[in-house]
Amino acid sequence: MGRKYFGTDGIRGKVGDEPITAEFMLKLGWAVGRVMTNGDSNKVLIGKDTRISGYMFESALEAGLSAAGVDIHLLGPMPTPAIAYLTRTLHAKAGIVISASHNPFYDNGVKFFSADGTKLDDDIELKIEAELEKPMTTVDSASLGKAERVEDAGGRYIEFCKSTVPSRLNLSGMKIVVDCANGATYHVTPKVFDELGATVISLGTNPDGLNINQDCGSTKPSLLRDAVLKEGADLGIALDGDGDRVIMVDHKGEYVDGDELVYIIASDRLRVNRLQGAVIGTLMSNLGLELALRSKGVDFHRAKVGDRYVMEMLKSTCSSLGGEGSGHIICLDRTTTGDGTVAALQVLAAMQSTSSSLHDLKAGMEKYPQRLVNVTLSKRIDLDQNAVINAAIKDVESQLSDQGRVLLRCSGTEPLVRVMVEGADEKLVSTLAEGLASVVSDAVAEA
């Protein structure tokens, strides 16, 4: 059965366009309540990021769940990984996240966590979609769900984050810049590092419903870099709007992306003999990460792009660490989903335990030049069946020889084809990526 609504990470789109409407969210809440609680009066958590549309969708989902006879616990603005954690520890049947992650404010979406704090299995998503096709009904008035707010949600999550590093970790004497992207972490993540002793300079902590991810956060880390250099900070940490991604900046103002952070965490786990299984990346992970880990005797596997596929491979290989260059890092030995704050804490713990700077720790991995060009899709196109595109790919591969990679993929969250070329020669890589993107653009226009 094909998916009508669910993508690689829940349901997402532009607010006001189907299915991201209040009417749909009302029925979605009802369908989720029917599927995930089996009609029993069990609680479901709802959290959100700071988008203005979150108010509307929170109310609609709440009404739908109540109509299905499900009790609702409202978390307010909370990071996606916090909702995963609280779903598990508060023994809820499910957790609902209202967020479009790193997208602009005019997008929004919904993603879900199961009772154990993990993303939903495909069969559950299909059951929800099947329920959405049925007429909506309402339980008897005496069985309607009730709603209440969880007042200490932020404090619970802060304590959890601190518990993921050794109790001896003391950041006293460190100056850290934290950019919360005017998103869901604005009121929790700076407190985590402050309570561990650091001097914290906060950016992106004044959300107004419209400025989430706007020229800040992990997708626009230049703001963070400038602040680190201006303040003479030891490092900077940039999160995205819902807090499941992290990019860092070292004291020299150099970016440290998700691949490099995975390398640092893996190396530290290996040093103390606590690296479980292989390290999981994706098809987009930098070749330098693979080579650096293999030089240490660590197996590296590539999953399809998307945290759900990284998670699947982590479980199938009995591994505990994986991530993406975008900064979505999963430490399964610490939590059940990608968590930018927890990942940053693991890096800080590695710095302290080895008495090394962030700049020194990332030096063990040499990144290959990688150029990513996004081509806007006006219509869907089968990349594998397009002869012109395939011929262009073969030509690029022949020019790279065995010193690089080519990858084309359709985004799971945006109408884009991502064209990636990677190799040892930066100038050649850039030229080849631009040329291939032009071929793809022309092929889309002619399709």
The average pLDDT across 107-113 equals 97
In this predicted structure, the answer to whether residue 379 has a pLDDT above a threshold of 90 is no
Amino acid 412: pLDDT: 67
List, for residues 247-274, the tens digit of each pLDDT value. Answer: 999 999 999 999 999 999 999 999 999 9
The average pLDDT across 375-383 equals 81
Type of residue found at 131: E
> Distance between CA 121 and CA 349 in Å, rounded?
33
Give which of 215, 217, 212, 2 is closest to 108, Cα–Cα. Answer: 212
List, for residues 133-188, the tens digit of each pLDDT value. Answer: 999 999 999 999 999 999 999 999 999 999 999 999 999 999 999 999 999 999 99
Kindly indicate the confidence band of residue 41, based on its pLDDT and cuts at 50, 70 and 90: low
Amino acid 8: pLDDT: 79
Locate the domains of the chain by residue range.
Answer: 11-151, 157-362, 370-446
In this predicted structure, the answer to whether residue 414 has a pLDDT above a threshold of 80 is no
What residues contact residue 210 under an 8 Å CB cut-off, 6+ apart? Answer: 52, 105
Level-2 CATH architecture, domain 11-151? 3-Layer(aba) Sandwich (3.40)
The average pLDDT across 73-99 equals 97
In this predicted structure, the answer to whether residue 40 has a pLDDT above a threshold of 70 is no
The CATH H-level (homologous superfamily) assignment of domain 157-362 is Alpha-D-Glucose-1,6-Bisphosphate, subunit A, domain 3 (3.40.120.10)
Of 3 and 252, the one with more pLDDT: 252
Length of the chain: 447
> Distance between CA 238 and CA 10 in Å, rounded?
23
pTM comes to 0.91
Percent of the chain topping pLDDT 90:
87
In this predicted structure, the answer to whether residue 447 has a pLDDT above a threshold of 80 is no
DSSP state of 135: P
- Given CATH 3.40.50.2300, say whether it is the number of domain 370-446: no
Q: Per residue, what are the HEC states of 269-283?
A: HHHCCCCCCCEEEEC
Task: Report the 10 Å Cβ neighbour count for 442.
Answer: 14
Marked catalytic residue, from 53, 66, 101, 218: 101
Do 45 and 90 form a contact (C-beta atoms < 8 A)?
A: yes
Amino acid 39: pLDDT: 60
CB half-sphere exposure, 17, CA atoms < 13 A: 9
The average pLDDT across 390-396 equals 94
SS3 at position 296: coil
The average pLDDT across 2-26 equals 93
In this predicted structure, the answer to whether residue 404 has a pLDDT above a threshold of 90 is no
Do 179 and 203 form a contact (C-beta atoms < 8 A)?
A: yes
CA angle centred on 437, ends 434 and 442, rounded to 5°: 125
* Among 69-83, 287-301, 392-406, the least confident range: 392-406
Residue 267 designated active-site:
no
Q: What is the mean pLDDT of the chain?
A: 95
Q: Evaluate whether 11-151 and 157-362 have a shared fold.
A: yes
CA angle centred on 18, ends 16 and 24, rounded to 5°: 90
List, for residues 311-345, the tens digit of each pLDDT value. Answer: 999 999 999 999 999 999 999 999 999 999 999 99
Kindly indicate the confidence band of residue 42, based on its pLDDT and cuts at 50, 70 and 90: confident
The average pLDDT across 294-304 equals 96
What residues contact residue 152 under an 8 Å CB cut-off, 6+ apart? Answer: none
> Distance between CA 396 and CA 428 in Å, rounded?
10
In this predicted structure, the answer to whether residue 411 has a pLDDT above a threshold of 80 is no
The average pLDDT across 2-14 equals 88
